[in-house]
Amino acid sequence: GQSLEQPSEVTAVEGAIVQINCTYQTSGFYGLSWYQQHDGGAPTFLSYNGLDGLEETGRFSSFLSRSDSYGYLLLQELQMKDSASYFCAVRVANNDMRFGAGTRLTVKP
């Protein structure tokens, strides 16, 4: 089967840095993606890692270690608007994406 593990909740204060981890066990692996979803909205794509290492996009960075079946999303300079759910997702086949349960991030003033 497929399993993706990520923390259910994370709380941090404005301006801080937070790291959301994701470990996976899947039948195939074609890359790890991260999505942000605000309450009542649709998920929006944040980042993708196909190879090991760090990808940086503004305040957000994502890391992947395929040998450890592990990745993380790093959010810097947190803002109130970053309060949302964050999902890691593994592309297990050409047209098959599986999502983790999501991490609810709460940013406090």
95 interacts with other proteins by CB under 8 A: yes
3-state class (DSSP) for residue 106: strand
Looking at 21-29, 57-65, 67-75, 90-98, which segment touches other proteins (CB under 8 A)?
90-98
3-state secondary structure of 75: strand
| Residue 51 lies near other proteins (rule: CB under 8 A) | no
Q: Closest Cα to residue 50, out of 100, 90, 4, 106? A: 90
Q: Say whether residue 10 binds other proteins (CB under 8 A).
A: no
101 binds other proteins (CB under 8 A): yes
Cβ 108 to other proteins, closest distance in Å?
19
Of 81, 77, 87, nearest to 20 (Cα)?
A: 87
